[in-house]
Structure 1
């Protein structure tokens, strides 16, 4: 009898299995498996996703050859298994885990596992330390509590199913020397929330480190945003960097997510913003990092994304988000790169704000008859905002199926659209309306190529001077 230990990690509630090892006498050194017995099954097997159980397999053989096996899962959506027999639960369900002899592929053992993912018990949470200076893992399915400000100066890994309760006015700071890997699953998300579930109960998760390692994936963050200096459930500093996927920001007293000038969204997709005051605060440099599949307007008090002006830092595409971008009062967006705007995108401007297409940049806004690109004021009155200034002569300055309305408030740039003497714009199939001054103003040698447009209710005229 030869005992071969196998480490099998999984989460389950109840399982049954049968093993039939049908074989004929081995020849040529090929072993015959006579029996397999899995050992080490705990009395209670109901565990959270990612929790571990150490099992072994006792294999009776004849022939003395190698008893290495290949592992496989019948449904990787329920559980996966690696080459060492480590099973990771993914979702509730039933799955067959099979070990097949490498010496004789006709010999195998199959175990049927019924995976039942448990909820996190927070009746007796473990306190987090105020300072984390060594690499630390918060174990799957456990509950923790931040009773003070937590400074993270090393690698903090948060496993699926973890819940962190944060006390009143406290926060978690991922410092410049630290980084955060918070990766849950769809069925076992990571939850970071207030110890009391009310908007603004706690401060924020501050991302100050600039490492690409920082990740939030399948994370639900709620009840923060009470700190006026860091006004969001998550606050990314000017040096911070983070990837955010499939995560939910909810019930913030201010913003769900606040990204400072210089902060970076390494990747951003499939996220949701619900019941915050405002979904996001960002600057022009971040607009192209967003996606059009995230949900930005799920019951937030204000249905827009605040854009605090700023300049582009790279070429890119501004998506058609389901909440409009709103350029804040008196702010200017400087376009110094090649920017495209998706059909259906909507950008609103508060009083005194504008957009400048600088000499090094270009702006290509191409909508459709059914889904125009819209540049307009937050108020439906002529002069609600300034203008779109076009200073570059780039052939990519194209507006097709675009609506520009309620601008023209700046006497120096008197139109919804203003072309400098070096500016160039191809304007087609668009609606230019309700300017306090001209619909389009073309300075001296500026070049406007236009056809198929509709001009309406522009106070000083359609095209000036």
Structure 2
């Protein structure tokens, strides 16, 4: 009996000793709190809202920011490698900013369960300046991240996220909301390395980019979640390679567009042209706008006004010049395009199109130009009208036609 009592006492003493030796997290507020240990070893992990750390120094050496709530009350410049871990929250003071310099990068890759958040201390448009990417580093990433309440700085076009000339960004599954002017502004010369499934909401304009980057965006992103303006702003420029634009549910508002390479518009594309804008298909380029009966393409003025935009000129003889199941309307502002919606100097195939509301003629075909309808070269107005529909043309102030003003062969 004495041996049994002694054995039980030894076990109890050993258990107490082991418990007193074990180390872990002893803070009940921590995510990994362990009530069985007595000695804290500094491994406690906290929800980001529990710990707030003031971020006041520039990032000049490789840095990893873990899941905490960071308070930023100044201008942070990143000139080295910055990695932001899932769950980090940046609470931005009034007028504060984060600038990724040319020799730095910011990889802010969160997860669906633990996104990375950049928000104003006050949820007001333009409360803080925003994030500017000025480096051409492929590690610049916003993935499962959100940016809101920014856009106070005019030099960043009042945007929540600004990508400078020669800079680049990869962005997916992220939301850019409640910013003063633009959600995302990509400067001319800025590059998109990857882009998918993003949301732009309650900004004045969700997204602005140059024409040479439109083929990098996707049709699945939500470009208008209650923005003031329902369009993606596409600024003027030149397309020099063969690219395909996606069909976006939000219209693309296009300024002057010069095509030196090839542009294919996906079925269902919705293009609105800015005032006096042109589409100029140069001799080296082509435009393939092939829609379907159930998924037509539209290329119309921002507003349905006769001669609102300048119109389309096709100068090339490329067999890929196609207008099929496409509506072209509201053009003819420009005298050099004969005040028409479509001015053909080269070659085009045209079937099942609606050509409406031109200043003068709906379609103007230069001497020596060629138009094919129903797989046959059309040489008469009747042949073109049999394959396409024309209405409301020739009602503008510069109309030099009478009667229907549908098609003119020079």
TM-score under structure 1 length normalisation: 0.73
CA contact (8 A) 1:401 1:429 kept: yes
Q: Distance in 2 between matches of 1:40 and 1:270?
A: 44
Deviation at 1:374, TM superposition (A): 0.5
**How many correspondences in the alignment?**
355
Structure 1 unaligned residues grouped into runs of 5+: 1-38, 54-116
Q: 1:293 to 1:46 in 2, by over 3 A?
A: farther
Deviation at 1:345, TM superposition (A): 1.0
Q: Distance in 1 between matches of 2:135 and 2:29?
A: 37
> Residue 255 in 1 paired to residue 255 in 2?
no
Deviation at 1:295, TM superposition (A): 0.4
Q: 1:322 to 1:47 in 2, by over 3 A?
A: farther
1:120 to 41, 48, 61: 48
Structure 2 unaligned residues grouped into runs of 5+: 1-21, 35-44, 375-386, 395-400
User: What is the Cα-based RMSD across aligned positions, in Å?
Assistant: 2.0
Q: Distance in 1 between matches of 2:141 and 2:29?
A: 28
Which residue of 2 is the match for residue 395 of structure 1? 319
CA contact (8 A) 1:383 1:407 kept: yes
**Residue pairs, 1:78-93, within 5 angstroms:** none
Q: Distance in 1 between matches of 2:315 and 2:280?
A: 8
Which residue of 2 is the match for residue 447 of structure 1? 370
1:437 to 356, 360, 364: 360
CA contact (8 A) 2:26 2:33 kept: no
CA contact (8 A) 1:130 1:148 kept: no
Q: 1:197 to 1:437 in 2, by over 3 A?
A: same
Q: Distance in 1 between matches of 2:369 and 2:317?
A: 8
SS of match in other structure, 1:340: strand
Q: String of CA shifts for 1:298-346, please: whole Å, max 9, x gaps.
A: 111111111121112432211111111112xxx4111122211111111
Which residue of 2 is the match for residue 208 of structure 1? 134
Which residue of 1 is the match for residue 267 of structure 2? 343
2:309 to 385, 404, 411: 385
Which residue of 2 is the match for residue 267 of structure 1? 194
Deviation at 1:43, TM superposition (A): 3.9
1:359 to 265, 270, 283: 283
Q: Distance in 1 between matches of 2:33 and 2:160?
A: 32
SS of match in other structure, 2:300: strand
Deviation at 1:129, TM superposition (A): 2.8
CA contact (8 A) 2:27 2:33 kept: no
Which residue of 1 is the match for residue 10 of structure 2? none
Q: 1:167 to 1:360 in 2, by over 3 A?
A: same
Which residue of 2 is the match for residue 457 of structure 1? 392
Q: Distance in 1 between matches of 2:249 and 2:48?
A: 33
Structure 1 residue runs of 4 or more that deviate by more than 2 Å after TM superposition? 39-48, 117-120
CA contact (8 A) 2:83 2:106 kept: yes
Q: Distance in 1 between matches of 2:134 and 2:212?
A: 18
Q: 1:449 to 1:132 in 2, by over 3 A?
A: same
> Residue 301 in 1 paired to residue 237 in 2?
no
Q: Distance in 1 between matches of 2:237 and 2:87?
A: 38
Q: 1:40 to 1:358 in 2, by over 3 A?
A: farther
Range with greater deviation from structure 2 (450-459 or 229-238):
450-459
Which residue of 1 is the match for residue 88 of structure 2? 162
Give 1 or 2: higher strand fraction. 1
Q: 1:40 to 1:377 in 2, by over 3 A?
A: same
Deviation at 1:253, TM superposition (A): 0.8
Which residue of 1 is the match for residue 12 of structure 2? none
**Residue pairs, 1:166-315, within 5 angstroms:** 166-230=92-156, 231-315=158-242
Give 1 or 2: higher helix fraction. 2
